[in-house]
Structure 1
Amino acid sequence: MSEQHRPLGQTPSQTVGPFFGYALPYPGGPEVRAPWQPDAVRVHGTVLDGAGEPIPDAIVEIWGADAAGLASTERGSLDRDQHAFTGFGRAAVDRDGHYSFTTIKPGAMRDGSAPYLLVTVFARGVLHHLFTRAYFGDEPEANAADPLLTRIDPDRRGTLVAEPDAASSYRFDVRLQGEGETVFLDYGTER
């Protein structure tokens, strides 16, 4: 078999930090919805390690449906159209481990599911990105009936809830391990 036609092997996983800044973040990445749009909400928080210390070199991605619970058919680009809504955003944390997005509060995507954002975390020492969800604390009835949330230990459900902290603003901290560790998902199951 010639060199040109040799199948490519799988590359190993690699942690993101601390040299990710030149390749992964992009202008407008955290602005899934322009902040001046009337339906824009802010979702922000801090990525913490097992000791509760901020991680200064993590990346957080979100994906969410629109307000009607529909997946966007818009195509994303590095020069975001301030009127389009793709549902996807990427933000690098600052030196204090803080990230922030503007997006739309999603509607429920399926019968019985509460509104949520899919959240992916890339961080130093984490070879495989971590998946979780951010539900909204001002949706108690929907959250109580959500099929995934009802399967999570009640003492840990709060780690999946973004709490309102101001008008149109929600705080969602992510703790990678230790006491208060965020529930991470593996193909829809609790870790």
Structure 2
Amino acid sequence: MPMPSSKAGTKGVPRADRERQVLAAATEEFGRRGYEATTVAAIAARVGVTKPLLHHYFGSKQDLYLACLNPVGERLLHAIRTAMAEPGSAAPPTALRVLHALFTALDGQREAWFVLYDATLPPGGDAARRAAYYRRAIDDLAATGTADLLGTTGSDDPLDADALAHAWRGLCTALVRWWVKHPDESPDAMARRCARLFAAGRALLADPDE
């Protein structure tokens, strides 16, 4: 009996196309349900392949998670670095540029944010270490941005910077979670919404005597 070609997928689908389908489905499953609650069987069923074939393509569940995580982490890091490097004179404020870049990088795969920020990853494993690497890299960029922002207020308290960086991460996560629930919102629409929310926040905190 002839063996199937290594380039062939199932039902006539080329392997490369099938792998893309698996990664898209797995990223959504991991992002929605978390690593612990996601099963390889559920991912295989969504794509219409068998568990053995999925394991043949990607290895273990942790290997599949890493295959989803790495492109997400690289894409987000590139987006944030590019946004922060843009000249500030004619561009929107850095915070809005970064948010717009995040929304654009996640468009079409919004749950990917929660692949990166997954609290159910087994501690000490390759998946947890790799996710921590990307989170630290993003946190370092956030720390740079928040320190610059605090510098304009005259604050040099490192705890202020640390608290603001944590608040920024929470804000990004909350906005993405809201965005997932509103699929008709485009990245541009989200960026405009954030600009309005920031303006409202400034008005709320403004000193009426100034």
Structure with greater proportional helix content:
2
TM-score class, shorter: under 0.3
Provide TM-score, normalisation by structure 1: 0.25
Which structure is higher in RCO with an 8 Å CA cutoff and minimum separation 6?
1
TM-score normalised by the chain length of structure 2: 0.24
- Answer 1 or 2: which has greater strand percent: 1
